[in-house]
Amino acid sequence: MDFRPGLEGVIAAQTNLSSVDGENGRLIFRGYRADELARKYMFEEVVYLLWYGEMPGQIELEKLKRKLQEARKLPANIVRIMDELPENMEMMAVLRTCISSLKAKPEWPPTFEEAIHITAVIPTILAYRYRSLHRLEFILPDHRLDHVANYLYMLTGNKPKEAHVRVMNAYFVLTAEHGMNAATFTSRVIASTESDLFSAVTGAIGAMKGPLHGGAPTGVISMLNEIETAEDTEDWLRRKLNNKEKLMGFGHRVYKTNDPRAEALRDVTESLSANDDWFKLARHVEDTAIRLLEEYKPGRRLYTNVEFYAAASFKAVDLPETLYTPTFTASRAAGWCAHVLEQAGNNRIFRPLSEYTGPESM
């Protein structure tokens, strides 16, 4: 058998949830193009599609929205846990701890009600912790607001602008699911042991916490802040490329052409920020970097990925940098739940082989 580091190219599961076509730049959620979903549908509709396999009618949508709204409330034990955690504990570690403590006796197989609970409460956990660290009064969820709008509201206490909601809704839709990535694979491996949904999502959060998985938007912000002006862009990028350093927000392990998520997010964000100097800088950096990457790495087909415009979107809606990866997690949790539910429906424990490379017995 061939050894493939990182299991690259190995098919580990069959799924009805999504198709990631890196050669042609297409991402499909259950037969729907993700970029079109982001432009036309709300997050709750896409969650329903992922969990139940079809688009909801109005009655089904309202029922799901009501259940998500009811599940936003923080359990008392989660509040106590967060209040006792060290202030310097990073947000992803806080989230991991809270999710693992949500239900005293979770069972197998996982349920849609558990998926609703996890998806609904993560934004509340993030908002409570963020405001607590900044000595701000906790903002209770507003059941009149949809999922994404309520998240922005709980962070600030102000009803969010419609344009901000539209940008963040597009982001949540585009990042809700993306095939067998490291965190999703982690969730399915844990679920395959017939462990519970809360354990599976906790493990996925641990994988997302790694900088190679969920930390890229922060790196993009740092890059753009260092560049500062359009005039400095090419010199700065050339220095990085000459030193063989990675340009954050460019290239993807799967996509060998334009990342469809980046294109959709750019279009939606541009409607909010087209005249913003920071967004103009981002567009200039994108164009310059793609030109230079072709010069320095011809044939590698390195294009803008979703993290680049995630950073632009977060900047446009004034999302704090400490919440970048946690917000990614808030959207992706819906996809993890979908995968665990699917795994439970036709389960077989993951048990790959390893190749021994140590010394022979004496």
List active site positions.
252, 307
CB burial string 87-102: b at 16+ within 10 A, e below = eeeebbebbbbbbbeb
CB of 293 within 8 A of CB of 247? Answer: yes
8-state DSSP, 245 = P
Coil vs helix vs strand at 26? strand
Distance of CA 88 to the CA centre of its chain: 23
Coil vs helix vs strand at 151? helix
CA–CA dist 169, 203 (Å, integer): 25
CA–CA dist 300, 255 (Å, integer): 11
- DSSP secondary structure string, 249-296? TB--SS-SS--HHHHHHHHHHHHHHTT-HHHHHHHHHHHHHHHHHHHH
Q: What is the arrangement of strands in the sheet containing 26-29, beginning at the earlier edge strand?
A: 18-21, 26-29, 32-33
Q: Is 204 exposed, middle or buried (0-12, 13-18, 19+ CB in 10 A)?
A: buried
**CA-angle at 176, arms to 175 and 181, nearest 5°:** 75
Residues linked to residue 26 through DSSP beta bridges, in sequence order: 21
CA–CA dist 211, 152 (Å, integer): 24
In angstroms, what is the C-alpha Rg of the chain? 21
CA–CA dist 156, 90 (Å, integer): 20
CA–CA dist 312, 282 (Å, integer): 7
First-residue to last-residue Cα distance in the chain: 26
